[in-house]
Amino acid sequence: MKPLKTWPNPWQLKHSRPVYDNAWLRLDEDEVINPGGGISHYGKVLFKNIAIGIIPLDADNNTWLVGQYRYVPDRYSWEIPMGGGPLHIDPLDSAKRELKEETGLSADGWQELMHLHTSNSVTDERSIVYVARGLHEGKTEFGETEDLQLIKLPLEEAVARVMSGEITDAISVASLLALARQLET
């Protein structure tokens, strides 16, 4: 497949200042010259971790979803297992840790499925999603902030839940649809 054409950056940075900083992210405010030549202020959320997603897939094409109440959107959410991987750690090592923590599963085989930018108009967050196969069950190791529920279901049903709007997490939606498409071909 031929790559799509790209263009040079039309934005010019005049000044940047940090506004907020914690263990997970930093918020900067940039004063820029926008593509039209005017002055704009741009807020940037800079993440200190890579978002790591995992689709565990058994020999019968069953997968696991994690349910939890998400504080910021103030709603319960069903998602693929996921978490943050420190930037200085191999993302696959972070994926193995997250899968074990949230599902108790470990895997013999790992396939990188996709890279995503979750909300590229305001954040530099990037995500890597893996498919884990050759699964072995074990004990979960939930973190202090995790109150999780797990369900095992056919991948086809997870995709149906995406299409019905029940699953809305962007990383989960994109990766479940991508894997389903990949398995069709």
Active-site residue list: 146
Judge contact between 110 and 132, C-beta under 8 A.
yes
Judge contact between 83 and 101, C-beta under 8 A.
yes
What DSSP element (H or E) covers 107?
A: strand 106-117
- Rounded to an integer, what distance in angstroms lies between the CA atom of residue 107 and that of residue 120? 31
Report which of 142, 170, 166, 173 is spatially closest to residue 76, judged by C-alpha positions.
166
Which residue is associated with the tokens 């790209």?
6
What angle (nearest 5°) sits at the alpha carbon of residue 122, between those of residues 147 and 70?
A: 15
Q: Can you state the angle between helices 155-163 and 170-184, rounded to 10 degrees?
A: 130
Which amino acid, residue 96?
K
First to last CA, the chain: 16
